Amino acid sequence: MKNILVLCTGNSCRSQMAHGYLNHFLNNRSYNIYSAGIETHGLNPGALAIMKEDGLNIDHHTSNHVDEYADVDFDYIITVCDHANENCPYIPSKNAKRLHHNFFDPSKVVGTDEEKHTAFLKAREEIKGYFKEFVEEYHLR
C-alpha cells in the first residue's frame, strides 16, 4: 500500500476536498489517503456541501493534526496552501515526493450565500482538476 498525505493549514476545507477526490479517483486501489493540518479547525460546512453537490460525501472525514501521522511513511506529501507549505513541520518520510499547489481559499470569502457558494465551487473545481491530473501524471490508476 502506498500512502498519500494532503496537508493544509486547518484541515477543514481544501485538504478535505482533495482527500475526497483522491479517494474517488483512486477508488482506494492500493492507496491510503490521509489529510491533515498544521492546526485543526474542524470540517467546514461549505466544503461538505459543495462536495455533496458533486456526488461525494466527505461527512465522515475528521480534522486531523499532522503529528497524528508521524509514524506513517508517505509516498507523496502534497501541500495545498502556501501557509502549510511554508510552516510544514518535518515529516520523516524516507522517499516521499513532495508537491505543492496553493489553492484558492473559499473559507475566507465574506459575502452573500451566493458569493460564498461561488467561492466554494471555484475551489472545488480547481482541486478536482489538479488531483485528477496528479493521478494521471503519476500513473496512480
Residue 28's pLDDT is 67
Task: Give 113's contacts (C-beta < 8 A, 6+ positions apart).
Answer: none
pLDDT higher than 70, residue 95: yes
Find the mean pLDDT for residues 132-136.
97
Find the mean pLDDT for residues 6-34.
94
The domains of the chain, with CATH numbers, are 2-137 (3.40.50.2300)
**Under a CB-based contact definition with an 8 Å cutoff, are residues 42 and 63 in contact?**
yes
Residue 89's pLDDT is 78
**Active-site residue (options: 88, 99, 109, 121):** 88
What is the residue whose three cell numbers read 460546512?
45
**Active-site residue (options: 7, 18, 78, 81):** 81
pLDDT band, residue 92 (cuts 50/70/90): confident
pTM: 0.96
pLDDT higher than 90, residue 29: no
**Active-site residue (options: 4, 6, 7, 8):** 8
Find the mean pLDDT for residues 2-15.
96
Q: Is 13 a catalytic residue?
A: no
Task: Give 34's contacts (C-beta < 8 A, 6+ positions apart).
Answer: 3, 4, 5, 6, 19, 64, 69, 72, 74
